Amino acid sequence: MNILVAGGAGFIGSHLCDALIAKGDKVVVADKLIMGKKNIEHLMDNANFEFYEIELANQADIDKLFTENKFDIVYHMAANSDIQKGGNEPSIDFNDTLLTTRAILEGMRKAKVKNIFFASTSAVYGEMPDVMLREETGGLKPVSYYGGAKLASEALISSYVSMCDINAVIFRFPNVIGPRLTHGVIFDFIRKLRRNPKELEILGDGKQCKPYIYVIDLIDAIVRLTSDIKRDQEIYNISVESAGTTVTHIAEIIVDVLGLKEVKFNYTGGDRGWKGDVPRFKYDISKVLSTGWKPKYTSDEAVEQTVKDALDNGCDESRESYGL
């Protein structure tokens, strides 16, 4: 297939490119390179890979992209991936998530491209700690600009599905971790411990509990469920089968992998790390499990493996920085 991966130079998008090219697809990546080219440098000389550096919210650039290529499917992975960063500046989520969605959908409409995958998020549900969150759960009230922009994008996709006979698969997933990850709690803790291996500041009370999915598991699900997109629209919650991992346990895993002793945890207090953070939720993934897909890593295993990945690949520090 001829495939567009919007945001393909990012963390998740670059892993998707690897998987699609491995199965023989021709992949075009369009990205404005917020993260640079490091995630796709190894693909630049591949005959089945092409790269466009463009602003994905710019309709003229998107229209030119669709004019120059004939795509069978679009994987829309482009978005602001840093909730805290977007929380400080709402225009980031508006531009990098919602406006990119509008431009891509318009490009598809004009070029008569009929299939799209959209990377959404568990953040669209908002804060409903006592509700088992299912795909049909109503009353969605996002509490972050990130979640709001993703939910608005879902709504826009739904309208194009109806008006333009487009077929869509939407994944709502929580925290994705693994190789090429560049930010988040794991990296924050590693960097803090580099500065002071005796004490670690933990935002909130440490009881925040979320499921963490390993990126390779997520990519496997994406490829499986988009190989033959059915008509209309399907939404899937996707995560691990376990309840999740607390922030304190993440800290414990990191300390253990680093081989540190007697690290004092200092909590800032409160039930969350920052405004817009959802400290805990219950996620029903029975729909995606019914397709035959199953994650290989539990949440704890994903965290531990990601710590090892980060250390093996630098995390802008090395094991020697900790005296290991």
pLDDT-based confidence at 17, cuts 50/70/90? Answer: very high
- pLDDT of 147 above 80: yes
- pLDDT of 314 above 70: no
pTM of the model: 0.92
How far are the Cα atoms of 171, 215, 278, 296 from residue 174, in angstroms, in the given order?
A: 10, 11, 11, 16
Q: Which of 35-49, 223-237, 279-293, 308-322 has the lowest mean pLDDT?
A: 308-322
* Cβ atoms of 280 and 208 closer than 8 Å: yes
pLDDT in tens, 178-197: 999 888 899 999 999 999 99
pLDDT-based confidence at 248, cuts 50/70/90? Answer: very high
CA torsion sign for 234, 237, 239, 242 is negative
Pick from 42-56, 80-94, 275-289 the range whose average pLDDT is largest. Answer: 42-56
**H runs (alpha helix) in the chain:** 11-22, 59-68, 83-88, 90-93, 100-111, 145-164, 185-195, 215-226, 247-258, 286-289, 299-312
Distance of CA 122 to the CA centre of its chain: 10
* Cβ atoms of 43 and 18 closer than 8 Å: yes
Give me the half-sphere count of Cα atoms (radius 13 Å) on the Cβ side of residue 245: 27
- pLDDT of 295 above 90: yes
Domains belonging to the chain, first-starting first, are 2-176+214-237 (3.40.50.720), 181-210+242-279+298-322 (3.90.25.10)
* Cβ atoms of 175 and 241 closer than 8 Å: no
pLDDT in the model for residue 271? 86
- pLDDT of 264 above 90: yes
Span 147-171, average pLDDT? 97
Taking the C-alpha atoms of 82, 83, 86 and 92 in order, what is their torsion angle to the nearest 10 degrees? 60
Strand partners, 248: none
Span 151-167, average pLDDT? 97
Spatial separation of the C-alpha atoms in residues 1 and 142, rounded to whole Å: 35
Note the residue count of the chain: 324
Query: For all residues of the chain together, what is the average pLDDT?
Result: 92
Span 286-306, average pLDDT? 96
Indicate the DSSP class of residue 263.
Answer: P
* Cβ atoms of 112 and 167 closer than 8 Å: no
Span 141-168, average pLDDT? 96
pLDDT in the model for residue 315? 57
